[in-house]
Structure 1
Amino acid sequence: MIRQLGRFASFAALAVSTTTFVAVAQQDQPKQVPPAPAQAQAPSAPAPTAEAPKFPPPDPKNFTADKPTKQDIDAFLTASWGYDQNRVWEVAAILKTPVEGLSKVVVYVGDKTGQQKPSAFGFFALPDGKHIIAGDDVYPFGAKPYVEARAKLQADANGPYRGAAEKTLELVEFADFQCPHCKEVQANMDKLATDYPKARIVFQNYPLERIHPQAKQAAEYGECVTKLGGNQAFFTFANAVFEGQDGLNTADGAQLTLNSAVTKAGLDPAKVDACSKTPETADAVEKSVKLAQDLNINQTPTLVINGRQVPIGAVPYDMIKKIIDYQAKMDGIGQ
């Protein structure tokens, strides 16, 4: 049977493994030491030549299931990983399981530079041909795995937006006003608005009440600021709330922080407060939360690029742009 290259990695981790590695490496690098004078330096040794990983040749005995095909898996991985030109992989096994129609897939993965150690990961392809189970989560599968999520967002992502009215290139941010990482990514969201003027950039409330008790109230205020003042007023309000995020740590502090943000947005705090207590506002926030849950979004902040989820808090800005450009190309969108 199949030879493994160590423990299986999860698909979720490998989906952004290159970007995560880069971010950590930058933090862990030691301070640079000034070089010694030229005459004191020893001749430098030639840099080692990086080599692409050499995967074990596929064994026909490891291909006992008819579906998915190797072509199906390659198309899926190209859609998922094609933005990273250094990444290479080899489908090593497509195995039958005791469950009719459920197949186990094993893939070897590495990078062309040879800087990362090759690894193996496995997932189960479900009988519907549209989903896989990797680790403890379910992911969309296929040559165009993000089509259904994209359509759902185009229909239901009705939060405040900036940029284009059209939904051809839609970047949907799911965020929680009390989430520290959501605050940290706002600078990148502002950069995206500048770098992609033809994109529609949407803010969807996803308050995680269990860990952020004041997040729902902030979301309700945000809904009402949009209703009473429009999109521009919302983003002014949102920036002010994130800047004063520490004030959300207590109920009294939250009220002061939200009132101040409403005033900065040019609205009357009393009117926004009254609006925030209506059933319609509560329903709007609940629908936004349900949208996130229906899409299986389990963390904030998450940026969804035409249906494709990216944990924006863990990915460097240049890589986010690379993923956006790649997804736009996959969707036939000219830049």
Structure 2
Amino acid sequence: MDKDTFLTEHKENVRRNRMAQSGFWKWSTLLLLVLMIIGVYTYGLPGKMTEQSQEQASERAVAFLNENLLAGFATASLESATEENDLYKLELVISSETSEEKENATLYVTKDGELLFPSAIDISDFQSEETITEEADIPSREASGDLIVGNPNATLSIVEYSDFECPYCGQVYWTMKLILDAYPEDVKLVYKTFPIPSHENGQKAAEAAKCANLQGKFNEYHDTLFENQDSLKEKNLKQYAEDLGLDTEAFDECLDSDAMAEEVAADQQEGIALGVSSTPTFFIGEQRISGNEKFSTFQKVIEEELAKISS
């Protein structure tokens, strides 16, 4: 066997092993990601497009997946095909060739069998909303007992509705650290717990943060949770309390008894009343920012609001 052949086979074996070890969901997600990146992938023959039967379009789409995207490590099989608006909706089962794992997937194909989509999103009722809403009629969102990060005596408050398990919240956490470092005397962060129901550990993490606040350690605990987002099980939450020198008996009792559940719910209800539907959502003075925005976006709003205060 020559060197090139050996290296080629070795690379292929490594690729297959990594697929098997990394978990089935990773490569099935990769499939959808590839399809999302290409958006619309044309794989038909040149010439005039004509409508195909549901069976023909389905067979063509499945063949394309198996021969081009899944070849060598998985096989797609058609479970059902239905007509939805001007598309054929395909329900597939993707079976791993390196394990016994399977994943369900939904794809859409045009009726001419030429264009394949990874998903369809209904935007018929969509209404555009600015990321930042200026001069909004927003009531005060601060109260005694709020969770404060930074200088509690700062002039301007950034009120954040957030979920410790939310990946975008984890990303914007680092931006907030930069903001607080840039405005140590002028800006503070008021943290509001808004755990998303689909996040398995978000609720308990929110309660744990409030339990830590009872012992004056919210800042440190807040940072620890965001810097360890992959480890937010209850055992982790209790370990962080011990690591930070909290009274673990009092902390564990607080967490186990759901003592902070009502306070977390109160934050959520307050947010919902203000129109919060996703995390992170920020209120800075009279302006609102939704999502993981960059430093300059926050800086612009902060400067505008500080100018209003000083004028």
| TM category, shorter | 0.5 to 0.7
Q: Is the 8 A contact 2:169 2:279 kept in 1?
A: yes
* 1:23-51 deviation line (CA, Å, top 9, x unaligned): xxxxxxxxxxxxxxxxxxxxxxxxxxxxx
Matched, 1:208 2:179: no
Partner of 2:296: 318
Residue 316 of structure 1 and its aligned partner are, at CA, apart by: 1.6
Partner of 1:165: 153
SS in 2 for 1:154: coil
Distance in 2 separating the partners of 1:156 and 1:309:
22
Partner of 2:276: 297
TM-score, reference length from structure 2: 0.53
Matched, 1:328 2:290: no
SS in 1 for 2:165: coil
Cα gap change, 1:186 to 1:159, in 2 (>3 Å): same
Q: Which AA in structure 1 matches 2:246?
A: L
Partner of 2:226: 242
Aligned 1:168-187 pairs, distance under 5 A: 168-187=155-174
The percentage of counterpart residues that share the same residue type is 23
Partner of 2:142: 154
Distance in 2 separating the partners of 1:220 and 1:258:
10
Residue 268 of structure 1 and its aligned partner are, at CA, apart by: 3.0
> Deviating runs (4+, > 6 A) in structure 1?
136-141
- Equivalenced residue count is 187
Pick aligned residue for 1:276 from 238, 245, 255: 255
Partner of 2:238: 259
Partner of 1:220: 207
- Mind listing any 5+ residue stretches in structure 2 that lack a counterpart? 1-125
Q: Is the 8 A contact 1:240 1:264 kept in 2?
A: no
Distance in 2 separating the partners of 1:216 and 1:297:
17
Distance in 2 separating the partners of 1:264 and 1:152:
35
Q: Which AA in structure 1 matches 2:220?
A: T
SS in 2 for 1:299: coil
Residue 155 of structure 1 and its aligned partner are, at CA, apart by: 4.1
Cα gap change, 1:156 to 1:309, in 2 (>3 Å): farther
What is the RMSD of the two structures over their aligned residues, measured on CA atoms? Answer: 3.0
Residue 328 of structure 1 and its aligned partner are, at CA, apart by: 2.7
Q: Is the 8 A contact 2:148 2:188 kept in 1?
A: no
Q: Which AA in structure 2 matches 1:255?
A: E
**Higher Cα Rg: structure 1 or 2?**
2
Distance in 2 separating the partners of 1:136 and 1:279:
39
Residue 139 of structure 1 and its aligned partner are, at CA, apart by: 11
Residue 153 of structure 1 and its aligned partner are, at CA, apart by: 1.0
Pick aligned residue for 1:196 from 183, 197, 220: 183
Q: Which AA in structure 1 matches 2:309?
A: G
Partner of 2:114: none
Partner of 1:95: none
Residue 321 of structure 1 and its aligned partner are, at CA, apart by: 0.3
